Amino acid sequence: MLRNKEFRWLLLTMSTISLLAIIVTAFISSGAMGITAVTSVLLIGCCLLFTRWRYREIEKLSGYLRQISSGNYSLDVRDNQEGELSILKNDIYKVTLMLSEQRLLLQEDKIKLTNAISDISHQLKTPLTSMTVMADLLSDPELNVEKRMEFTRKISLQLDRIGWLVSSLLKFSKIDAGTIQFKKDSIKVKRLVQKSMEPILIPMDIKEQRIQIEGEDATSFIGDYNWTTEAMINILKNCVEHTPAGGVITISFAENTLFTEIVITDNGKGIPKAEIPYIFKRFYKGTNANEDSIGIGLALAQSIITEQNGTIDVMSEVGKGTQFQIKFYKQVI
């Protein structure tokens, strides 16, 4: 204890006061001096014992902190009694829990990062291998013009696929990192639908598919126009891909006091019931998916919608079609 400066000052102060009291009482009587001396010794002794106990408690807490800093988060130092030491113990316990939760989150982030890198590597491996093979074939000087043009076109398609994949993964990473600030504008659903349809009009025309739109012009919701368009395009692309030639895609929308709902329905192949829980999972490819499908469009759509206080549900029946129900709530749920 004597190594502590504040304790040495306390001991010196108590000793000085006691000595002065003994000297003063010596002028009164020897009995008073004796009582004062004994009382002073007892008080100083009690103070020393109490101070020693407090230092030991602080030393224990210091030991706890050293263990926590070394990664041992299993310590429980909670104390339900009154006093500053108990408050300090409870605060240390709260910090321990917080550090433990942060460590778990970091571990989860590491696992997600590892899985993402593994998925990206797997998705890039196939087109890169394909392009390498076709590049070797193109180097053959005796290759005829038709084959050369075919391989060039396939390489171009693979490059487009890689570009789309990288772009989508970049959007995912921004959403996951929370670096995207979604705007909160009033969006007219009819305008959103028309904008979302632009990239799919040519594929629909090729497959001679029809589209029906039903809804009031005034229907709107609060959200980010560009990002919601991105989500809608991915859902509509999925519908076009899984709807046969001559099929019909219906988009209906409505608004009530709780939410704005957009329903997209196709009469395509449908999704097997066992696969429905997984269709929004990244890189998931169902049994009816095209060979070129990466399995990322619906996952990206779901992330965008849920980040804007929305939900997306799917109902499907094999052979009859699929229905996506999107809801943007007016209040936080």
Tokens of 158: 């693979």
Residues in a beta bridge with 266: 249, 322
pLDDT tens, position by position, 15-51? 999 999 988 888 888 888 889 899 989 998 998 898 8
Closest CA to 328 of 313, 308, 314: 308
Which pairs with CB-CB distance under 8 Å and at least 24 residues apart come from 41-50? 43/14, 43/18, 44/11, 44/14, 44/15, 44/18, 47/10, 47/14, 48/1, 48/11
* Structure letter (DSSP) for residue 284: -
Structure tokens at 253: 């929308």
DSSP sequence for 79-125: --SSSHHHHHHHHHHHHHHHHHHHHHHHHHHHHHHHHHHHHHHHHHH
Q: What's the CA gap between 283 and 276, in Å, rounded?
A: 14
Residues 6+ apart with CB under 8 A from 271: 279, 286, 288, 314, 316, 318, 322
**pLDDT tens string 205-261:** 999 999 999 999 999 999 999 999 999 999 999 999 889 999 999 999 999 999 999
Residue 107, pLDDT > 70, answer yes
The runs of H, that is alpha helices, within 178-316 are: 189-197, 201-206, 225-242, 297-306
Secondary structure class of 235 (helix, strand, coil): helix
Residue pair 194/232 in contact by the 8 Å Cβ criterion = no
Predicted confidence at residue 53, as pLDDT, reads 87
Asked if 325 and 263 touch (Cβ cutoff 8 Å), the reply is yes
Residue pLDDT, tens place only, 55-80: 888 888 888 888 887 777 777 777 77
148-157, 168-177, 184-193: least confident range = 168-177
Instruction: Output the pLDDT for position 211.
Output: 92
